[in-house]
Amino acid sequence: MNITRRALLKRGLLSSAGLVLAGGLASPVGLLRAAPSIVSPWVEPFQAPLPIPPVLQPVSSDTTTDYYEMTQKVGQAHILPGLITPIWGYNGIFPGPTIEARCGCRVVIRQMNELPVPVSTHLHGGIVSPENDDDPTDLIWPATSDQGARRRRQKDMQDTSLQSGMKDYIYLNNQSNATLWYHDHRMNFTGPQIYKGLAGFYLLKDELEEQLPLPTGERDIPIMIVDRIFRTDGSLFYPSLDPTLTTTPGVWEAYQNGVCGDTILVNGALQPFFEVANTRYRFRLLNASNARQFRLALSTEQPFVQVGSDGGLLPAPVSRRTIDIAQAERCDVLIDFSDYPIGTQIVLKNLWGTGRTADIMRFDVVRQEEDESVVPSQLAPLDAPDITSVEAIRAFRFLMHHDKGTINGKSFDAHRTDALLRLNASEIWELMGNGDHPIHIHNALFQVLDRDGDPPDPHECGLKDIIFLRKGECARILVRFTDYRGPYVFHCHNLEHEDMGMMSRFEVV
């Protein structure tokens, strides 16, 4: 338990605002990957059509800016046949609405909080100023009409940055095209809050991308994959812990790998099907799971053509029979259905899954259409990493120990700065851990230099904001913080690891 969690507990905030509402108290026993104590109701796969999250329209626009509004609230999802699943969603839906932004054009999103808990909204992969990033302790408190309660809360937290009810986030979008996503980032509760549905796509587009003959429009589809556990009444099961149990030996060990579900959802639907023409499609894959990695493959063994990763288009397309995707990673792939006769069904498999987690979704080739798309030989030019002007070399060790996640031996403390980094300086970070850790850095896109001394595979040669480390593996990345000075964080994107403190704050000076 880190200091802040303890402080929150003392103030009675953790149990009142967090745990009970985050998913209810449940037996902490049996939360291991292999043996969840609750098994989701069985549902026949490929019965639901793939939902495509609606694109949000701005409430107004001027010459420089599109203004959006979103309300975070409780919603009702129809995921299991005949049952209602209460969720927490941006505008009450899961996934939240998609934002389509243009590089270089400003976006302002007013986030309103009608949930019963504080929230914090982060644009993952965005280069944004510290006030807009959102620091995990920068909370939007639930809207309340009780002024007294609001004042007491602000006084109690002694933090003037606290806002009640809403916050405007400003994103300048001074970066290249990329599939970004937004999600909750509330300190200690990111896991349960994303699990309940607080995640959506933010697609950043530019001319470079539009000039390429890639599939567009109805053939450019965002795909958010998550795993979840459902109770028999249709509600989501997140194994929350009663904080008073944390001293009981053995309890936290059950969480060490994070929370994995036994059921796969794609864009919020259970193992859906998607009807396609016999043409090429672009799928922007995002693994928004708390703790699960996927190894994706097509049942026909046809290779994917990967064209993009976290930071946008790759320098050149890469053909891959399997795609490993860790939490929060994005993989932009093309699948060409032109060789299949009408009537063919192709399953997107998870080779690391078993039983129900082995099938993700199905593509049904149902119609014939013209296709003007081409796989370009070059995509987005990117210079090879240049290490001649590196100013600093840092090593970070990621360790889980019982209920504590640490980076270089320390758990996250919102009041401690672990490193000072110079603006625009190139640095080499050497990353290593005692388990599987997808490491994510805020406000920077980096290049992978090597893994255990070997140069990265071609699909890792684009700009990244997440790097997946296998147990004991050592990776080196070249990172540079540009645009803004101020405090940011980096952390493990296994959300339970993050919530247990595997996060660190640095300051760009």
Closest CA to 459 of 321, 363, 364, 358: 321
When the beta carbons of 318 and 492 are compared against ligand C2O, the nearer one is 492
- Name which of ligand C2O, Cu ion, none residue 497 binds, using a CB cut-off of 5 to 8 Å depending on partner kind: Cu ion
Contact 364, 345 (CB under 8 A): yes
With vertex at residue 28, the alpha carbon angle to CA 25 and CA 31, rounded to the nearest 5 degrees, is: 120
CB of 448 or CB of 492, closer to Cu ion:
492
Nearest to 230 by CA among 264, 184, 200: 264
Smallest distance, Å, CB 262 to ligand C2O?
A: 24
- Smallest distance, Å, CB 497 to Cu ion? 3
Q: At closest approach, how far in Å is the CB of 185 from ligand C2O? A: 6
3-state secondary structure of 254: helix
- Backbone angles phi and psi of 419, in degrees to 5: -155, 145
Longest dimension (CA), the chain: 67
Partner from ligand C2O, Cu ion, none contacting 494, C-beta within 5 to 8 A by type: Cu ion
- Taking residue 314's Cβ as centre, other Cβ atoms within 10 Å add up to 23
By a kind-dependent CB cut-off of 5 to 8 A, residue 328 interacts, out of Cu ion, ligand C2O, none, with ligand C2O
Least distance in angstroms from the C-beta of 99 to ligand C2O: 15
How many residues form the binding site for ligand C2O (CB under 6 A)?
Answer: 9
User: Considering the rule CB under 6 A, would residue 442 count as an interface residue with ligand C2O?
Assistant: yes
Nearer to ligand C2O, 134 or 403 (CB): 134
Give which of Cu ion, ligand C2O, none residue 349 binds (C-beta under 5 to 8 Å, depending on kind).
none
Contact flags string 118-147 toward Cu ion, x per CB under 5 A? ------x-----------------------
- If phi > 0 it is left, if psi is from -120 to 50 it is alpha, else beta; for residue 56 that is beta
Asked if 185 is part of the footprint of Cu ion (rule: CB under 5 A), the reply reads no
Q: Does 124 bind ligand C2O (CB under 6 A)?
A: yes
Q: In terms of CB distance, is 142 or 258 closer to Cu ion?
A: 258
Residues 6+ apart with CB under 8 A from 194: 183, 184, 288, 290, 495
Distances (CA, A) of 381 to 104, 109, 378, 461, 466: 19, 31, 8, 11, 20
Please identify which residue in 167, 183, 280, 505 interacts with ligand C2O, judged by CB under 6 A: 183
Cβ neighbours of residue 502 under 8 Å, at least 6 residues apart?
Answer: 398, 400, 405, 406, 407, 411, 412, 437, 491, 492, 494
Task: Identify which range of 243-251, 345-353, 384-392, 489-497 contacts Cu ion by CB under 5 A.
Answer: 489-497
The smaller minimum CB distance to ligand C2O, of residues 185 and 282, is found at 185
Q: Total number of residues binding Cu ion (CB under 5 A)?
A: 6
Determine phi and psi for 149, rounding to 5 degrees.
Answer: -60, -40
Should residue 122 be labelled a site residue for ligand C2O when binding is judged by CB under 6 A? yes
Q: Which is nearer to ligand C2O, 264 or 502 (CB)?
A: 502
Q: Give the C-alpha distances (Å, rounded to integers) separating 148 from 46, 144, 145, 153.
A: 51, 10, 9, 8
Of 273 and 490, nearer to ligand C2O (C-beta) is 490
Please, which of residues 419-448 interact with Cu ion by CB under 5 A? 437, 442
Which CB sits closer to ligand C2O, 185 or 349? 185
Q: For Cu ion, which stretch binds (CB under 5 A), given 217-225, 341-349, 372-380, 486-494?
A: 486-494
Judged by beta carbon, residue 40 or residue 290, the one nearer ligand C2O is 290
Q: Residue 352 and residue 459: Cα distance in Å, rounded?
A: 20
How many C-beta neighbours within 10 Å does residue 205 have? 20
Are 282 and 215 spatial neighbours (Cβ–Cβ below 8 Å)? yes
Residue with token string 């980076």: 407
Which has the closest alpha carbon to 444: 385, 489, 414, 410? 489
**Partner from Cu ion, ligand C2O, none contacting 282, C-beta within 5 to 8 A by type:** none
List the interface residues with ligand C2O, window 321-380 (CB under 6 A).
328
d(CA 406, CA 484): 26
Our CB check for Cu ion shows the closer of 411 and 494 to be: 494
Site for Cu ion (CB under 5 A): which residue of 467, 492, 500, 503? 492
Does residue number 497 form part of the binding site for ligand C2O (CB under 6 A)?
Answer: no
Beta strands 359-367 and 273-277 are parallel
Q: Which residues contact Cu ion (rule: CB under 5 A)?
A: 124, 437, 442, 492, 494, 497
Q: Which residues contact ligand C2O (rule: CB under 6 A)?
A: 122, 124, 183, 185, 328, 440, 442, 491, 493
